[in-house]
């Protein structure tokens, strides 16, 4: 059960609801978002009459949610969530494409990437300052220096930046350099301490699906962020591990409409990491759009053959621009725009 409070609720009214839940044998999880405060009732709520709570001052609505994830469940909010990223809506009628290189390498590389991203018509840019790599001997990213390089390049074209947070110790650096969207990678989807800390800030979060995570596990990870008060969550399907070896991961297209039924959060697709090959990006991205995705997260490098990581899956600037035209046509066919 979740209790949705009025937008102008007072601390006293919140405390009253929490005390009422305690008197009924329940615990209260208070999630303070920017626009709404939501209180989750934890415990056996079956014998509680919702009218008892609806009568309390400051309460706007009381909703019974039987699923383990409460705040992100579709039952808690019928309307789709639209995440505002510096005035750019993600989750509404307009599809958003976030493009850029796998990793931040040099200032000149990021300057060219930002120019190509903006020229193609993309409204946001991606790039990894910190890189989770399977091998400890692979390039691990430029760290804080990478954030500075990324920020300078993107600001020249007024592009909000998306980059991955791997360690809570770097959260202050992300805040210092004004990271616009924090990405939680597949390997950290169930790093619950990291999710809790990201839940305390109100920066939009892209939460990637874990390599072998079920939809329920994925949504429970999103609930960790939402329970902390950050409701600006974007889910990213990036392919799951299967027995097949001819491509990198298996894009779970079925997950997109299922998520649309289960949650009000926006869903985007990462066709680059799913296929692992640049030539697969076209087909996989179009499948994602047709299935109802709200956007794409794609890799583009000024010179893919010289990329320091994931060179095989990076589009060239010309390929990105051409695909933007194709995605725009497809978006219109499914009642969206780009």
pLDDT tens, residue by residue, 195-228 = 999 999 999 999 999 999 999 999 999 999 999 9
pLDDT of residue 286: 98
What integer pLDDT is reported at residue 111 of this predicted model?
98
- Confidence (pLDDT) at 310: 86
Task: Pull the structure tokens for residue 225.
Answer: 């962020």
Q: Mention every residue, 6+ apart, whose C-beta is less than 8 A from residue 234.
A: 83, 90, 91, 181, 204, 205, 206, 207, 265, 266, 267, 268, 294, 295
User: Shortest CA distance to 110 belongs to which of 96, 129, 97?
Assistant: 129
10 Å Cβ neighbour count for 265? 26
pTM exceeds 0.85, yes or no: yes
The position carrying tokens 């289960």 is 262
* pLDDT of 269: 98
CA angle at residue 165 from 84 to 155, to 5 degrees? 55
Parse the chain into domains and list their residue ranges: 2-64, 83-333
What is the pLDDT at residue 137?
63
Give the residues of the chain that fall short of pLDDT 70.
133, 137, 139-140
CATH code of the domain occupying 83-333: 3.20.20.70
Please compute, for residue 208, the number of CA atoms within 13 A of its CA located in the half-sphere on the CB side: 27
Side-chain-side CA neighbours of residue 143 (13 Å): 4
State residue 76's pLDDT score.
87
Whole-angstrom CA distances from 49 to 1, 9, 21, 126 are: 11, 22, 11, 47
- pLDDT at position 41 is 86
Domain 2-64, CATH homologous superfamily name and number: Phospho-2-dehydro-3-deoxyheptonate aldolase; domain 1 (3.30.70.1140)
Position 222 scores a pLDDT of 97
């Amino acid at each position: 059960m979740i209790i949705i409070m009025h937008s102008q609720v007072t601390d006293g009214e919140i405390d009253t609801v929490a005390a009422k839940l305690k008197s009924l044998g329940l615990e209260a999880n208070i999630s303070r978002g920017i626009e709404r405060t939501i209180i989750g009732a934890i415990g056996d709520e079956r014998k509680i009459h919702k009218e008892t709570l609806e009568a309390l001052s400051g309460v706007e609505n009381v909703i019974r949610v039987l699923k383990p994830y409460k705040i992100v469940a579709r039952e808690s909010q019928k309307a789709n969530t639209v995440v505002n990223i510096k005035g750019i809506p993600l989750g509404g009628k307009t599809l958003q494409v976030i493009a850029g290189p796998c990793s931040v390498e040099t200032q000149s590389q990021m300057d060219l990437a930002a120019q190509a991203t903006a020229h193609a018509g993309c409204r946001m840019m991606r790039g990894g300052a910190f890189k989770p790599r399977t091998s400890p001997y692979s390039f691990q990213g430029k760290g804080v220096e990478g954030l500075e390089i990324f920020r300078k390049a993107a600001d020249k074209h007024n592009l909000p930046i998306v980059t991955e947070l791997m360690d809570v110790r770097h959260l202050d650096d992300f805040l210092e350099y004004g990271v616009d969207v924090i990405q939680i990678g597949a390997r950290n989807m169930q790093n619950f301490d990291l999710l809790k800390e990201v839940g305390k800030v109100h920066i939009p979060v892209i939460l990637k699906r874990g390599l072998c995570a079920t939809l329920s596990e994925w949504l429970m990870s999103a609930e960790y962020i939402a329970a902390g008060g950050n409701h600006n969550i974007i889910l990213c399907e990036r392919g799951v591990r299967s027995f097949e070896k001819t491509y990198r991961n298996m894009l779970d297209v079925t997950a997109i409409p299922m998520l649309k039924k289960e949650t009000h959060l926006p869903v985007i697709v990462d066709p680059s990491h799913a296929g692992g090959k640049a030539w697969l990006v076209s087909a996989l991205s179009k499948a994602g759009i047709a299935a109802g995705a709200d956007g794409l997260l794609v890799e583009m490098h000024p010179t893919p053959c010289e990329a320091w990581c994931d060179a095989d899956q990076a589009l060239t600037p010309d390929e990105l621009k051409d695909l933007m035209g194709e995605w725009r046509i497809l978006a219109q066919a499914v009642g969206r725009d780009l």
